[in-house]
Chain A
Amino acid sequence: MPGPDQDKINNALWSACDTFRGTVDPAQYKDYILVFLFWKYLSDIHARHERELREKYGDNETLIRRKLERDRFVLPEGTSFYYVRDEHRNDAELGDKINKALQAIEDANKQKLEGVFRNIDFNSEPNLGETKARNRRMKSLFDDFSDPALNFSAFTDTSDTGMADVIGDGYMYLISRFASDSGKKGGEFYTPKEVSKLLALLLDPQPGERIYDPTIGSGSLAITVADELRHPDKELHPDKKSSNDFAIYGQENNRSTWALAKMNMFLHNVDGAQIEAGDTISDPKLKEADQLLKADIVVANPPFSLKKWGYGDVQKDPFKRFTKHGMPPKSKGDFAFLLHMIASMKEATGRVGVIVPHGVLFRGGAEGKIRRSLIEANLLQAVIGLPEGLFYGTGIPAAILIFRKGREHGDVLFIDASRDFDDRGTQNVLRRQDIKRIVETYQAYERDPDFEMVEKYAYKASRAEIEENDCNLNIPRYVDTFEPEEPVDLEAVAIMIRELEEKLGDTRRKLNGYLQELGLPT
Chain B
Amino acid sequence: MSDNTKKRQTTLLDSTPASEDHHQALAKEADSETEERPDFRKVKQLGWLPSDWTLTPLLKAVDIASGQVDPKKEPYISMVLVAPDHVESGTGRLLKRVTAGEQGASSGKYLFNSGDIVYCKIRPYLRKATLVDFDGLCSADMYPLRAKESVSPGFILGVLLGERFSAFAESVSVRSGIPKINRVELAEYIVALPPYREQRKIALILGAWDEALAQLDALIAMKEQRLRGLAQRMLTGEVRLPAYADEAWHVVKLGQVFRQRKECNRGDLPLLSVSGEHGIVRQDTLDRRDISASDKSNYLRVAPGDIAYNTMRMWQGVSAVSSEDGIVSPAYTVCVAKKGIDVRFAAHLFKSPTVVHRFLRYSQGLVSDTLNLKFSSFKQIELTIPKSVDEQKEIANVLDAATAELELRRHERTVLLKQKKGLMHRLITGEVRVKLRSMNRDIQTSVAS
Let me know if A500 and B9 touch, CB within 8 A: no
Given known pairs A396-B367, A487-B232, the reply for A500 and B218 (CB within 8 Å) is: yes
A372 at the interface (CB under 8 A from B): no
A504 at the interface (CB under 8 A from B): yes
Distance of B155 from chain A, by nearest CB (Å): 15
Let me know if A521 and B9 touch, CB within 8 A: yes
A520 at the interface (CB under 8 A from B): yes
Given known pairs A477-B361, A482-B354, A511-B208, the reply for A500 and B219 (CB within 8 Å) is: yes
Distance of B370 from chain A, by nearest CB (Å): 9
Distance of A64 from chain B, by nearest CB (Å): 61
B9 nearest CB neighbor, chain A only: A520
Stretch at the interface among B29-37, B121-129, B292-300, B430-438: B430-438
Let me know if B366 and A396 touch, CB within 8 A: yes
Let me know if B9 and A510 touch, CB within 8 A: no
Let me know if B366 and A488 touch, CB within 8 A: no
Let me know if B9 and A477 touch, CB within 8 A: no
Let me know if B364 and A474 touch, CB within 8 A: yes
With the chains together, A485 CA to B228 CA distance in Å? 10
B157 at the interface (CB under 8 A from A): no
Let me know if A485 and B353 touch, CB within 8 A: yes
Distance of A15 from chain B, by nearest CB (Å): 32
Let me know if A490 and B357 touch, CB within 8 A: no
Let me know if B367 and A484 touch, CB within 8 A: no
Let me know if B226 and A490 touch, CB within 8 A: yes
Query: Per-residue 0/1 for B342-368: is the Cβ within 8 Å of any A Cβ (1 yes, 0 no)?
Result: 000000000001100100111111110
B205 at the interface (CB under 8 A from A): yes
Let me know if B226 and A517 touch, CB within 8 A: no
Given known pairs A488-B225, A488-B232, A514-B205, the reply for A500 and B215 (CB within 8 Å) is: yes
Contacts of A397 in B (CB 8 A): 366-367
Given known pairs A476-B360, A519-B9, the reply for A504 and B432 (CB within 8 Å) is: no
Distance of A146 from chain B, by nearest CB (Å): 44
Contacts of A477 in B (CB 8 A): 361-362
Let me know if A497 and B222 touch, CB within 8 A: yes
Contacts of A467 in B (CB 8 A): none
Let me know if B226 and A476 touch, CB within 8 A: no
- Interface size range of chain A in the complex: 35 or more
Let me know if B205 and A488 touch, CB within 8 A: no
Contacts of A476 in B (CB 8 A): 360-363
B46 at the interface (CB under 8 A from A): no
Q: Name the contact of B13 in the complex, choosing from A361, A469, A493, A521 (C-beta under 8 A).
A: A521
Query: Per-residue 0/1 for A356-373: is the Cβ within 8 Å of any B Cβ (1 yes, 0 no)?
Result: 011101100000000000
Q: Name the contact of A511 in the complex, choosing from B212, B357, B362, B432 (C-beta under 8 A).
A: B212
Let me know if A493 and B225 touch, CB within 8 A: yes
Let me know if A504 and B360 touch, CB within 8 A: no
A28 at the interface (CB under 8 A from B): no
Distance of A508 from chain B, by nearest CB (Å): 7
B438 nearest CB neighbor, chain A only: A517
With the chains together, A521 CA to B426 CA distance in Å? 14
Given known pairs A507-B212, A511-B208, the reply for A517 and B435 (CB within 8 Å) is: yes
Let me know if B232 and A362 touch, CB within 8 A: no
Most interface-central of A358, A359, A362, A520 (chain B CB within 10 A): A520
With the chains together, A517 CA to B438 CA distance in Å? 9
Q: Which of A498-517 contact B (CB under 8 A)?
A: 500-501, 503-504, 507-508, 510-511, 514, 517
Q: Name the contact of B229 in the complex, choosing from A484, A490, A518 (C-beta under 8 A).
A: A490
Interface of B is mostly: helix
Given known pairs A362-B364, A490-B230, A500-B222, the reply for A521 and B10 (CB within 8 Å) is: yes
Let me know if A520 and B432 touch, CB within 8 A: yes
Distance of B62 from chain A, by nearest CB (Å): 25
Distance of A490 from chain B, by nearest CB (Å): 4
Query: Per-residue 0/1 for A387-428: is the Cβ within 8 Å of any B Cβ (1 yes, 0 no)?
Result: 010000001110000000000000000000000000000000
Contacts of A395 in B (CB 8 A): 367
Contacts of B363 in A (CB 8 A): 476
With the chains together, A275 CA to B351 CA distance in Å? 56
B217 nearest CB neighbor, chain A only: A500
Let me know if B366 and A517 touch, CB within 8 A: no
Let me know if B367 and A488 touch, CB within 8 A: no
With the chains together, A409 CA to B225 CA distance in Å? 48
Distance of A372 from chain B, by nearest CB (Å): 15
B216 at the interface (CB under 8 A from A): yes
Q: Name the contact of A488 in the complex, choosing from B12, B226, B362 (C-beta under 8 A).
A: B226
Q: Which of B206-262 contact A (CB under 8 A)?
A: 208-209, 211-212, 215-216, 218-219, 222-223, 225-226, 228-230, 232-233
Let me know if A507 and B215 touch, CB within 8 A: yes
A236 at the interface (CB under 8 A from B): no
Distance of A331 from chain B, by nearest CB (Å): 15
Let me know if A484 and B353 touch, CB within 8 A: yes
Distance of B141 from chain A, by nearest CB (Å): 27
Q: Which of B351-393 contact A (CB under 8 A)?
A: 353-354, 357, 360-367, 380
Distance of A40 from chain B, by nearest CB (Å): 42
A489 at the interface (CB under 8 A from B): yes
B220 nearest CB neighbor, chain A only: A500
A283 at the interface (CB under 8 A from B): no
A496 at the interface (CB under 8 A from B): yes
With the chains together, A511 CA to B205 CA distance in Å? 8
Given known pairs A482-B354, A487-B232, A518-B434, the reply for A497 and B219 (CB within 8 Å) is: yes
A7 at the interface (CB under 8 A from B): no
Q: Name the contact of B226 in the complex, choosing from A469, A497, A511 (C-beta under 8 A).
A: A497
Distance of A326 from chain B, by nearest CB (Å): 20
Distance of B305 from chain A, by nearest CB (Å): 29
Contacts of B169 in A (CB 8 A): none
With the chains together, A501 CA to B219 CA distance in Å? 7
With the chains together, A517 CA to B353 CA distance in Å? 49
B423 at the interface (CB under 8 A from A): yes
A480 at the interface (CB under 8 A from B): yes
A502 nearest CB neighbor, chain B only: B215
With the chains together, A372 CA to B10 CA distance in Å? 75
B363 nearest CB neighbor, chain A only: A476
Let me know if B367 and A504 touch, CB within 8 A: no
Let me know if B366 and A358 touch, CB within 8 A: yes
Hey, which bits of chain B sit against chain A, CB under 8 A? 1, 9-10, 12-13, 205, 208-209, 211-212, 215-216, 218-219, 222-223, 225-226, 228-230, 232-233, 353-354, 357, 360-367, 380, 423, 432-435, 438
8 A-B pairs with the lowest CB-CB distances in the bound complex, closest first: A488-B229, A476-B361, A500-B219, A507-B212, A490-B229, A504-B215, A482-B357, A362-B364
A-B CB contact pairs (8 Å), 28 listed: A357-B366, A358-B366, A361-B364, A397-B366, A476-B361, A482-B357, A485-B232, A485-B353, A488-B226, A488-B228, A488-B229, A488-B232, A490-B230, A497-B219, A500-B218, A503-B215, A504-B216, A507-B208, A507-B212, A511-B209, A511-B212, A517-B435, A518-B205, A518-B435, A519-B9, A520-B12, A521-B9, A521-B13
